Chain A
Amino acid sequence: MTAQPQSTPAPPPSGTTSGTAPGSVSVAAPRPVRAAAPAALALGDDALVLAQRLGEWAGNAPVLEEDVALTNIALDLLGQARTLLSLVGDEDELAFGREEHEFRNVQLVERPNGDFAETIARQLFFSVHQELLFTALAAGDSALAPLAAKAVKEVAYHRDHAERWTLRLGDGTEESHRRMQDAVDGLWRYTGELFEPLDGLDVDLAGLRAPWLERVTAVLGRATLEVPQGADRTPWAAGAGRQGVHTEAFGRMLAEMQHLHRAHPGASW
């Protein structure tokens, strides 16, 4: 990714490659993207922010295999983010040039990694959601369909990874069970936002909630964990990330993510 100075977001790419600079790969955008741009921005931010969070595990995961697994998942998500944000404007400008309130990701993905169980609970909630959403998007013909069709196959592995760890931790030792249940309980209030309507999306997000709940309930049940009875959609529920309202931890994460670009505008490898 090459860096760009701060300015207003560029118009959507035209779908041609005539202006392609040497050393860059343009992403084809054959379908009208303008209508889907708000959704592409929100879903791109989800992927970007979760990629950054998972990347924080590099060198810190409980075992080497998990270090590699979590960062591989982060890489897949970064790929999604690059494609989605490129539908909206300049990917670097959008990732590194926006302020906190301009990000449209759900609050779930910005939550700190916590212990390993919290990361796994977040992965479970998000990957089950993303698999359902991308499957629906891939069946449509919006500008997001090609990316969804591509990414859903990768997300199946993310979901599988989260499921297996949920089972091992939930149905593991007393300590791992307690921590996994705490993680599920603590993040539950952030899950309602996943099903809030999103401008420019030709998928009924609210309609995904029932299958999501069914799948998550099945995994938690097999893992001997309780499905939280707490609020996920009441006034006690969290989540206004789509409106640009974020949790305190997000600002610090962004500061780290954007620091290099802001300190050295135009820097590249």
Chain B
Amino acid sequence: MVTGQGSAAGTASGLEEELLRLAGEVPDPELPVVSLAELGILRGLRVTGPGRVEVELTPTYTGCPALDTMATDIREVLTAHGMSEVAVRTVLSPAWSTDAISAEGRRKLAEHGVAPPRPLSGGADEAAGGPVAVELRVRCPHCGSTDTRMLSRFSSTACKALRRCDSCHEPFDHFKEL
């Protein structure tokens, strides 16, 4: 079994590493600028027999409608790579957090005009006892100003909030902390 967080040396076969890399390169259906690996939602992959592979995915949100599409895309990629039976399992525990998004993923989100989530762990918000960091400044992905405000906690998808920049006046999506 290899995990999305890096290889478990010794137990992972070269094939598993290769398949994990391929599955991880699948783009997110709703935010195609980032990959599943960059989002940190690929939890693991195991070759269970000749041509048989099992993949573990965790949803960003419990009701994420993109999950079925992700599973289909993973099946397609791994089937094209010679796997005849691809099982995709959903795992909920431990719960996904926006902290699982890689630095590269954050950079791509910002480049795409989506303000990346602020870190949750170890920050002042956690010390204050709340997992939801809503009042810290969010930087405008267009002009870089921190003079932005929330328009709505819920935006085009469940994982984003809608904000507006008071410097350049552009609205933008913010991948909200979870």
Contact = CB atoms under 8 A, between A and B. Distances in A.
B158 A75 contact: yes
Interface string B38-72: 00000000000000001011010111110110011
A73 B153 CA distance: 10
Contacts of A161: 153-154
Contact of B155 (A28, A68, A146): A68
Contacts of B90: 25-28
Interface in A146-175: 146-147, 149-151, 153-154, 156-157, 160-161
A75 B154 CA distance: 11
B19 to A, nearest CB: 16
A238 B54 CA distance: 48
A153 B153 contact: no
Contact of A23 (B72, B132, B176): B72
Contact of B158 (A27, A72, A160): A72
Contact of B88 (A25, A72, A149, A151): A25
Interface residues of B, number: 40
Contacts of B62: 76, 79-80, 83, 147, 150-151, 154
A160 B63 contact: no
A77 B61 CA distance: 10
A150 B75 contact: no
A65 interface: yes
Interface string A223-258: 000000000000000000000000000000000000
B131 A156 contact: yes
Contacts of B95: 146, 149-150, 153
Contact of A157 (B96, B132, B156): B132
B93 A76 contact: no
A151 B60 CA distance: 10
Contact of A17 (B89, B134, B178): B89
Contacts of A28: 56, 89-92
B63 A82 contact: yes
A160 B153 CA distance: 9
Contacts of A146: 91-93, 95
Contacts of A82: 63
B89 to A, nearest CB: 5
A69 interface: yes
Contacts of A20: 87-88
A150 B93 contact: yes
Interface string A123-153: 0000000000000000000000111011101
Contacts of B14: none
B54 A73 contact: no
A207 interface: no
Given A25-B57, A150-B96, A75 B89 contact: no
A71 B56 CA distance: 28
A194 interface: no
B63 A80 contact: yes
Interface in A189-234: none
Contact of A147 (B65, B92, B152): B92
27 contacts: A17-B89, A23-B68, A23-B71, A24-B68, A26-B87, A27-B89, A28-B56, A28-B89, A28-B91, A65-B151, A68-B154, A69-B154, A72-B155, A72-B158, A73-B154, A75-B61, A77-B63, A80-B62, A145-B93, A149-B94, A150-B62, A150-B92, A150-B96, A154-B62, A154-B178, A156-B131, A160-B153
Given A68-B152, A153-B95, A160-B132, 8 more contacts: A23-B71, A24-B68, A72-B157, A76-B62, A146-B91, A147-B62, A153-B131, A157-B132
Interface of B: 54, 56-57, 59, 61-65, 67-68, 71-72, 75, 87-97, 130-132, 134, 151-158, 162, 176, 178
Interface of A: 17-18, 20, 22-28, 65-66, 68-69, 72-73, 75-80, 82-83, 145-147, 149-151, 153-154, 156-157, 160-161
